[in-house]
Chain A
């Protein structure tokens, strides 16, 4: 980290940084002029469709496409044997193919791809395709897959099981700590699979031109990984492939793998020499899935007599579905992300991810950190109750301090989790409400943390920066920003413009964002792991500082004042102590261009080495972490079991918010998504068959069901973030689930450990409680209540 890129105080007040800047592409989006992949047209365009498997697990004996090829209007029919090379987002677990080769592993897997003049012709061709399947044993339960099996779903599965990955970690002496504990609690919970449900279905357009070049437009979060996968599977060098990311209608992790349909579409374009477009129907999106893993986990927490946590014991079993996808990372994350924001001197984790014949699970917003956090935060609540403590006090006692190291060697830098908790507690009126609201109403609190960019790029050889930004200035005085970072609606283009504009002291309309086109954009590794603002922001800041040096030199030549005395701002470069003396930005540009032509500048970001030396040590390491504490108030209709979340107080530490309006948007959207997983969303399987592949039957939260949200942005500047910023894209999802779960306990005296908490489950739980206890009543208040106004001041250990 160079000093220039650290969060040093700027010489002049921020103008664009910290301002509520509307998205730079908002006017295109509100007029319907923003171009998504399905909006693109090419001359002589063909429609591509993929015939999908109706079997969950079967050997393919034979595929006969002879008759399909004869259908008038069909341009190409492609089967898996044409491009059998495997790929996958992680280099060590390639197990996907563009189309099924010899075997299908889930209902919905692509088997044959057809390109034709229109959709109806594709369907006519499908009707003439004969596929002979030989059914194989079906595995739809990870508890079965973890044991010895008759047929392995993939040869690479561990031993004689269908496990894809297993993780064992042990730090300190967990059994010893457990024996010595004064208090302990254990929680087991299960979580249905949920999916991203972005509004734009997957879409891809590919064209192969006579000069041997392939162009692919795709709704992707990871243009660079797609670029690599296309090159590997199609056996084309990367320099003959151009990947363009148009506007993307939401991703949330669901567009962060290179996908078979993207490769199949490119293959059809190569086969036909004509442009081909594949647009998914909504059920295709559901079968493609890659959503959050169905999960079974157990969390044990032990504490000493003073309320200090002494041990954390975690087990997790994940249903990975048919492919690996990000699964190795998911398996680690479900353990290593259990610990923060608390300090645990002893930690043990056993995690396993099983292949099954379900559609593949993958990365979804707050990947690997959501389900385990619910169990941990519920366990903390239960421990507080057992000890007779207020749960906020127990949390305050155990927070990781800023600038510390966890037992598994995560480097923690800025950390305002205390401020988050104190703000949420005070604003929510916790003291007056906790255990004191009428039966059926309750308040709960929970904390969280998340990586602000995975420290390890997925491809770490050769060693490239994780993000590079190029700036180009021509005689028109416009600054063009070239960057491979994928804006999927989170606003990364706007952050780029704000950072460059801030450093150069120019208005946003001078800045053009050219993203993403692999022909012109340097590499950014993608929009995942909440890395973009942090890494791209730093790269952009360095590029802009490089350009500023050139322009300040030019202004110095023109004014005769030393470079050190000059300042950029208000579209000018001027003398700091005599602001009326200076040159316009354009004058400085023209002077700097003399004898060189267009100006260029570059900046990049590469995170510092970190983490321990044990196996899996890099998983979960990040250059910074966001922290959070949410309070939530709920009201339950005990007649219908319907849960209404009234309000969420969201204490969040994203360092310095570069654009508070965007940060609020991320928090509000995260609360929407988190409440969906908690209360209504579930991929319902009957055996291997997905029963609800539509937005009608997969219920996301509707406008009238959203709670009021109060965002409390209390973070301090992070020493390494751009202008002090950290992530706000994924971390905000995590605490809302356990905050509401704990609020439901406060309201009803029932712990809900089977998500989603649908009204029928609420009613069943209440009936059972009444039968057991003879009445319905709230839990008793704790003996230790928080000190009012101003809070307590437990010094961190």
Chain B
């Protein structure tokens, strides 16, 4: 429904089984595999996709870090990782590397070996902490 009817093609279809995490969206803020979620179950609830986390023309700090740290190669898994990371950093503003790798363990990437993805999420957490401190 997201991809075909609403034209929100940022969420990807990779495995049909809920194993790859490429289709991750936020359902009322919680990372959710859209390929296993019937539209009916989302009725009346808020869905956030990769298209909805940054203002037009801008990038979310997680997206910015993914660009700068080289955390995207083919890019197919990237929206799913970013959605998982956005929700995770909202709830865990200063995580350890182990916590990050556990948080994204539901997402598969075949290009990067995850190293630069973890680097990017770490960098994003630092950038968000700085941003939070300066705006407080």
Contacts and interface: CB of A to CB of B under 8 A. Distances in A.
Interface string A678-707: 000000000000000011100011111010
A282 interface: yes
Nearest to A23: B72
Nearest to B120: A30
B26 interface: no
Contact of B16 (A35, A281, A669): A281
Contacts of B88: none
B10 A665 contact: no
Contacts of B22: 199
B10 A32 contact: yes
Interface in B96-135: 98, 101-102, 104-105, 107-118
B37 interface: no
Nearest to A39: B9
A47 to B, nearest CB: 10
Interface string A245-287: 0011110100000000000000000000000000101100000
Interface in B19-38: 19-20, 22
Contacts of A23: 67, 70, 72-73
A706 B114 contact: yes
B111 A30 contact: no
B110 A703 contact: no
Contacts of A706: 101, 113-115
B73 A199 contact: no
Contact of A703 (B13, B75, B78, B104): B104
B113 A672 contact: yes
A25 interface: yes
A703 B66 contact: no
B17 A703 contact: no
Interface stretch (A485-493, A502-510, A532-540): A485-493
A521 to B, nearest CB: 20
Contacts of B114: 668, 672, 703, 706
B75 A489 contact: yes
Nearest to A662: B70
A199 B20 contact: yes
Nearest to A200: B76
A380 to B, nearest CB: 26
Given A26-B66, A31-B54, A709-B115, A199 B59 contact: no
A347 B19 CA distance: 46
A231 interface: no
Given A22-B70, A200-B14, A32 B110 contact: no
A696 B74 contact: no
Contact of B76 (A36, A490, A665, A672): A36
Given A665-B112, A668-B113, A200 B12 contact: yes
B46 interface: no
Q: Which of A488, A696, A703: most chain B Cβ within 10 A?
A: A703
A282 B49 CA distance: 23
A703 to B, nearest CB: 4
B59 A198 contact: no
A34 B16 contact: no
A33 interface: yes
B115 to A, nearest CB: 4
Contact of A31 (B14, B59, B70, B108): B59
Given A22-B68, A31-B10, A489-B111, A702 B74 contact: no
A252 to B, nearest CB: 7
A31 B68 contact: no
A665 B111 contact: yes
Q: Is the interface of A mostly helix, strand, loop or mixed?
A: loop
A199 B110 contact: yes
Contact of A696 (B11, B19, B78, B110): B19
A669 B13 contact: no
Contacts of B13: 38, 201, 279
A673 interface: yes
Contact of A489 (B74, B104, B108, B113): B74
A709 B114 CA distance: 11
Contacts of B110: 196-199, 250, 252, 669, 672-673, 700
A66 interface: no
A33 B10 contact: yes
Contacts of B112: 665, 668-669, 672
Nearest to B115: A668
B72 A29 contact: yes
B15 interface: yes
B74 A703 contact: no
Interface in A32-70: 32-36, 38-39, 41
B116 to A, nearest CB: 6
A45 to B, nearest CB: 10
A239 interface: no
A508 to B, nearest CB: 13
A671 B108 contact: no
Contacts of A197: 110
Contact of B111 (A669, A694, A701): A669
Interface in A616-674: 661-662, 664-665, 668-673
B20 A664 contact: no
Contacts of B49: 32
Given A201-B14, A668-B116, A250 B70 contact: no
B78 A30 contact: yes
A209 interface: no
Given A664-B116, A672-B110, A32 B77 contact: no
B70 A282 contact: no
Contacts of A26: 66-67, 72, 75
Given A665-B70, A700-B110, A29 B75 contact: yes
A325 B16 CA distance: 28
Interface string B54-84: 1000010001001111101111111100100
Q: Which of B49, B67, B102, B118: most chain A Cβ within 10 A?
A: B67
A664 B70 contact: yes
A20 interface: yes
A395 to B, nearest CB: 25
Contacts of A701: 113
A668 B115 CA distance: 7
A149 to B, nearest CB: 37
Contacts of A22: 67-68, 70
A32 B11 contact: yes
B73 to A, nearest CB: 4
A709 B111 contact: no
A672 B8 CA distance: 31
A703 B77 contact: no
A57 to B, nearest CB: 28
A695 B50 contact: no
Nearest to A674: B113
Contact of B17 (A196, A250, A695): A695
B15 A32 contact: no
Contacts of A695: 14-15, 17, 19-20, 108
A252 B70 CA distance: 18
Interface string A1-42: 000000000000000000010110111111111111011010
Q: Which of B66, B67, B102, B113: most chain A Cβ within 10 A?
A: B113
13 contacts: A20-B70, A22-B68, A23-B72, A29-B75, A36-B76, A282-B17, A665-B111, A665-B116, A669-B113, A695-B14, A695-B20, A703-B107, A709-B113
Interface of B: 3, 7-17, 19-20, 22, 49-51, 54, 59, 63, 66-70, 72-79, 82, 98, 101-102, 104-105, 107-118
> Which 8 residue pairs spanning A and B have beta carbons closest together?
A32-B10, A489-B74, A249-B76, A29-B75, A672-B113, A668-B113, A32-B50, A39-B9
Given A22-B70, A32-B51, A249-B75, 6 more contacts: A38-B9, A200-B14, A490-B73, A668-B116, A703-B107, A704-B98
